[in-house]
């Protein structure tokens, strides 16, 4: 799927979620399943989304020792999701183990899920990076360095803010996938997100895909909001 708007299905109440999914039943879109939903529903939510014709990004952000991540990815690979992720902070060996696990666990003839690495969460700003995480470099430099490590480890792309996409492309090439959450229209509440941009700006900066959660799922008319944000993302205006 070319340059998707990925809807983050961070909705744990079944009735609310079913209503939301009902509104997308005539579309084949990209849905993101995160920790909240996966820990509640398990593999059956993936099966349901795929049965409904959607592409699936399983956003569990694995981060552990290489052996554990490799084995977990082997199990998750059987779900045949399109996109899955780890934290780049786990290091090169962990990312390589994740890739090997995905390859080993996928059903024969199925494509390997694309593997991307979270560089720095979009809820992190420079102050937090410096004062809490004790990383003294510029955030854009940290993001692009982690992206380069992900690329060296054989991954398909990264998660970052759209703000860092031009630098990531410079370092890792234009084909390296850049999936960017922290998307807000000017009127939207920021919530816990720090490095945010509008769908239009994300397009201008060259993101491969944008992730939108609460702006859509918590709006009065989620489907209409999805269509408006998708139009802005696709047309850049």
The catalytic site residues sit at 59, 61, 64
In the complex, which residues of this chain contact ligand LLZGTKA7 (CB under 6 A)? 8, 10, 34, 118, 121-122, 159, 181-182, 191, 193, 211-215
- DSSP conformational letter for 147: H
Closest among 32, 28, 36, 75 to 57, alpha carbons compared: 32
CB of 36 to ligand LLZGTKA7, least distance (A): 8
In whole angstroms, the minimum distance from the beta carbon of 214 to ligand LLZGTKA7 comes to: 3
Annotated binding residue at 65? yes
According to DSSP, the residues that pair with 135 across neighbouring strands are none
Q: Establish whether 71 is an annotated binding residue.
A: no
Neighbours of 148 (CB within 10 A): 17
Can you tell me the distance from the alpha carbon of 114 to that of 237, in angstroms, rounded to the nearest whole number? 30
- Given the complex with ligand LLZGTKA7, which of 172 and 210 has the nearer CB atom? 210
Q: Count, in order, helices (H) and strands (E) of the chain.
A: 11, 8
Residue 158 contacts residue 182 (beta carbons within 8 Å): no
| Residue with smaller CB distance to ligand LLZGTKA7, 154 or 191 | 191
Determine whether the annotation assigns residue 181 to a binding site: no
DSSP3 helix / strand / coil % (the chain, rounded to 5): 45, 15, 35
Nearest residue to ligand LLZGTKA7 on Cβ basis: 213
Q: How far is the CB of 93 from ligand LLZGTKA7 (least distance, A)?
A: 22
Q: Which residues are annotated as a binding site for substrate?
A: 10, 32, 59-68, 122, 184, 193, 213-214
């Amino acid at each position: 799927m070319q340059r998707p708007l990925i809807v983050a299905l961070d909705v744990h109440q079944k009735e609310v979620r079913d209503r939301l999914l009902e509104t997308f039943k005539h579309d084949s879109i990209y849905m993101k399943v995160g920790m909240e939903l996966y820990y509640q529903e398990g593999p059956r939510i993936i099966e349901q989304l795929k049965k409904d014709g959607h592409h699936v990004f399983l956003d569990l952000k694995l981060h552990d020792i290489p052996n554990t991540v490799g084995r977990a990815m082997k199990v998750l690979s059987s779900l045949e999701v399109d996109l899955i992720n780890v934290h780049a902070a786990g290091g090169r060996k962990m990312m390589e183990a994740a890739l090997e696990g995905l390859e080993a666990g996928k059903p024969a003839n199925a494509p390997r899920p694309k593997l991307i690495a979270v560089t720095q969460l979009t809820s992190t700003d420079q102050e937090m990076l410096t004062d809490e995480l004790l990383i003294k470099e510029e955030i854009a430099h940290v993001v692009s360095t982690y992206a380069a490590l992900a690329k060296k480890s054989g991954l398909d792309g990264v998660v970052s803010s759209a703000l860092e996409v031009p630098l990531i492309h410079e370092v890792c090439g234009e084909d390296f996938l850049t999936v960017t959450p922290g998307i807000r229209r000017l009127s939207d509440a920021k919530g816990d997100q720090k490095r945010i941009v509008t769908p239009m700006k994300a397009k201008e900066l060259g993101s491969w895909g944008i992730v939108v959660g609460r702006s859509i799922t918590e709006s009065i008319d989620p489907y209409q909001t999805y269509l408006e944000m998708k139009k802005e993302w696709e047309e850049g205006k």
